[in-house]
């Protein structure tokens, strides 16, 4: 009887939850909250939009963070933007409108897809020794959640390009993506912007520079073997120069069973990037790659997928034999 009463009280609370907006403990009713939201969507210059950098509406099902065109909040930059899902054709249209190019689309699981994109600017910036990982972005589509997560070029550009990051170009890219996808929320996966270029999860974890060398060979042979050992639906190839390529492979079939222990956020890790740079194939060290993509991951979650780093190295290497 006590259990039934508890369930009843929980359901009653859930469906009677008041929608509120927090900013210094100020509460707004539903109508006022919707007025502010409409003002933002219409891109007006009202005082509400100017003065509210961050405000949140708690509904029965979600906490929505409204955004301006600046993804840096309290010195931290979000790794992803959140928007409502649209069709694949519409995603392609929106990206092409802003001079991005869709490279491919991959199925991560039955409810999740990843759209891989690049641009001339992204390729030019990352066409440097060891910097090819900054040449792409993704739109991860969560069909069952009704949202898409778009990678923030400011976050990943700063992490991967470090001193070579052209922040004015990355910021301009960021703002175009925010507008064209009608972004309404920043992902809570964020990290201090000033510390991203030297990111490491903990003191004994690797940094970006600690790349994992998979194999040495000629660039042509590496590309040939990669194509031979992968299905077209699970791979993408981005040419940076004649001797530098960024390869992306969807390891979800091999790794999903373990990765799902950390929840749906695992899909943000797919596809795994591999860089061919002057006859050498590299991946980022998985112990760097995983937490930089999911910066709020905790140590217990990492322990649940402790076997994944070795699996990524082994499976990535096997693609070139």
Q: Where are the domains of the chain?
A: 1-66, 212-318
Mean pLDDT of the region 31-44: 47
What pLDDT score was predicted for residue 261?
94
Instruction: Flag whether pLDDT at 252 surpasses 80.
Output: yes
pLDDT score recorded for residue 72: 60
Structure tokens at 47: 């005082």
* pLDDT (mean) for 53-80: 51
Whether residue 64 is predicted with pLDDT greater than 80 in this model: the reply is: no
Q: What pTM value is reported for the model?
A: 0.78
Residues near 294 by beta carbon (within 8 Å), at least 6 away in sequence: 189, 262, 265, 268, 269
Report, as an integer, the average pLDDT of 189-206.
95
| pLDDT beyond 50 at 44 | no
User: How far is C-alpha 5 from the geometric centre of its chain's CA atoms?
Assistant: 41
Report helix, strand or coil for 182: coil
Distance CA 155, CA 192 (A): 9
Instruction: Give the pLDDT mean for 41-47.
Output: 44
Residues 200-242: tens digit of each pLDDT: 999 999 999 999 999 999 999 999 999 999 999 999 999 999 9
Distance CA(26)–CA(225), nearest Å, equals 60
Closest CA to 317 of 287, 264, 278, 272: 272
**Residue 185 pLDDT:** 87
pLDDT value, residue 75: 80
pLDDT in tens, 297-307: 999 999 999 99
- pLDDT above 50: residue 50: no
Helix (H) or strand (E) holding 259: helix 252-259
Q: What is the structure's pLDDT at 21?
A: 31
Could you please report the per-residue DSSP string of 49-94? HHH-S-EEEE-SS-EEEE--S--EETTEEESEEEEE---HHHHHHH
Kindly state the average pLDDT of the residues 86-101: 96
Q: Does residue 308 surpass a pLDDT of 70?
A: yes
Residue pair 280/286 in contact by the 8 Å Cβ criterion: no
Cβ-contact 143, 91 below 8 angstroms: no
CA 58 – CA 60 distance, rounded (Å) = 7
Task: Give per-residue pLDDT as tens, 173-186.
Answer: 999 999 999 998 88
DSSP-assigned states of every residue in 20-50: EEESTT----HHHHHHHHHHHHTT---HHHH
Q: pLDDT band for 153, please (50, 70, 90 cuts).
A: very high
Determine what percent of the chain is predicted with pLDDT higher than 90: 74
- The CATH topology of domain 212-318 is TATA-Binding Protein (3.30.310)
Contacts 24+ apart (CB under 8 A), 95-102: 95/139, 95/180, 97/180, 98/176, 98/177, 98/180, 100/137
Q: What integer best gives the mean pLDDT of the chain?
A: 83
What whole-number percentage of the chain has pLDDT above 70? 77
């Amino acid at each position: 009887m006590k259990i039934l009463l508890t369930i009843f009280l929980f359901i009653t609370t859930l469906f009677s939850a008041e929608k509120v907006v927090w900013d210094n403990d100020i509460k707004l009713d539903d109508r006022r909250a919707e007025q502010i939201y409409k003002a933002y969507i219409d891109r007006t210059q009202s005082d509400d939009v100017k003065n509210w950098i961050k405000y949140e509406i708690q509904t029965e099902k979600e906490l929505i963070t409204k955004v301006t065109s600046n993804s840096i909040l309290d010195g931290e930059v979000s790794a992803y933007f959140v928007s409502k899902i649209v069709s694949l054709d519409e995603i392609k249209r929106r990206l092409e409108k802003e001079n991005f190019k869709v490279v491919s689309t991959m199925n991560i699981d039955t409810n999740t897809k990843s759209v891989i994109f690049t641009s001339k600017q992204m390729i030019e910036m990352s066409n440097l020794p060891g910097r090819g990982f900054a040449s792409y972005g993704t739109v991860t589509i969560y069909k069952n959640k009704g949202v898409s997560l778009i990678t923030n070029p400011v976050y990943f550009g700063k992490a991967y390009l470090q001193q070579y990051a052209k922040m004015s170009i990355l910021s301009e890219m960021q703002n175009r993506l925010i507008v064209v996808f009608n972004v309404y929320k920043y992902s809570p996966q964020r990290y201090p912007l000033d510390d991203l270029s030297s990111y490491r999860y903990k003191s004994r974890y690797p940094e970006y520079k600690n790349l994992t060398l998979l194999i040495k060979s000629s660039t042509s042979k590496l590309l040939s073997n990669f194509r031979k050992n992968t299905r077209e639906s699970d791979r993408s190839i981005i040419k940076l120069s004649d001797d530098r390529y960024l390869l992306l492979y969807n390891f979800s079939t091999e790794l999903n069973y373990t990765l799902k222990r950390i929840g749906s956020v695992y899909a943000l890790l797919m596809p795994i990037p591999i860089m061919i740079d002057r006859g050498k194939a590299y991946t980022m060290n998985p112990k760097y790659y995983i937490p930089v993509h999911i910066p709020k991951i905790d140590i217990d979650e990492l322990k649940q997928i402790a076997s994944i780093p070795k699996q990524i190295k082994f499976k990535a290497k096997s693609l070139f034999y």
